[in-house]
Amino acid sequence: MLFMAKKTMDQRAGGGKGRKPAAPETPAPPLAELAFSAGALSRGSKVSERIASALVNDIIERGLGPGDRLPNEAVMSEYFGVGRGSVREALRLLEVHGLISLVTGPKGGPVIVAVDPRYVARTLSLYLSLRGATIEELAHTRLFIEPHVARLAAENLSPDRSARLEAALAAEEAVADGDHNYIEAANEFHYVISTMSGNRVLDLVATALKELYTGPIVGGGVARVTTDPSIRLEHREIGEAILAGDADRAEDLMRAHMNYYLGKIRDTAPSFPATRITWS
160-195 tens-digit pLDDT: 999 999 999 999 999 876 677 788 888 999 999 999
| Mean pLDDT, the chain, whole residue set | 83
CB 82 within 8 Å of CB 123: no
Percent of residues in the chain assigned helix, strand, coil, to nearest 5: 65, 5, 30
CB 196 within 8 Å of CB 135: no
Cα gap 3→18, rounded to integer Å: 22
CATH topology of domain 117-274: Four Helix Bundle (Hemerythrin (Met), subunit A) (1.20.120)
> Quick one: angle between helices 247-268 and 231-243, nearest 10?
160
List the one residue out of 72, 65, 73 whose CA is nearest residue 19. 65
List all residues 6 or more positions away from 237 whose beta carbon is below 8 Å from its beta carbon. 253
Sign of CA dihedral 114, 120, 121, 122: positive
Out of 56-65, 141-150, 247-256, which region has the weakest mean confidence (pLDDT)?
56-65
CB 6 within 8 Å of CB 25: yes
Query: What residue ranges do the domains of the chain occupy?
Result: 6-112, 117-274
Q: What is the mean pLDDT of residues 247-256?
A: 98
pLDDT of 130: 96
Task: Assess whether the region 6-112 and the region 117-274 belong to the same CATH fold.
Answer: no
pLDDT band at 118 (very low <50, low <70, confident <90, very high): confident
Out of 38-52, 75-89, 100-114, 155-169, which region has the weakest mean confidence (pLDDT)?
38-52
- Identify the three-state secondary structure at position 183: helix
Cα gap 98→252, rounded to integer Å: 35
pLDDT at 53 > cutoff 70: yes
Long-range contacts of 171-178 (CB under 8 A, 24+ apart): 172/232, 172/235, 173/232, 173/236, 175/229, 175/232, 177/229
CATH architecture of 6-112: Orthogonal Bundle (1.10)
Which tens digit of pLDDT belongs to each residue from 126-146?
Answer: 999 999 999 999 999 999 999
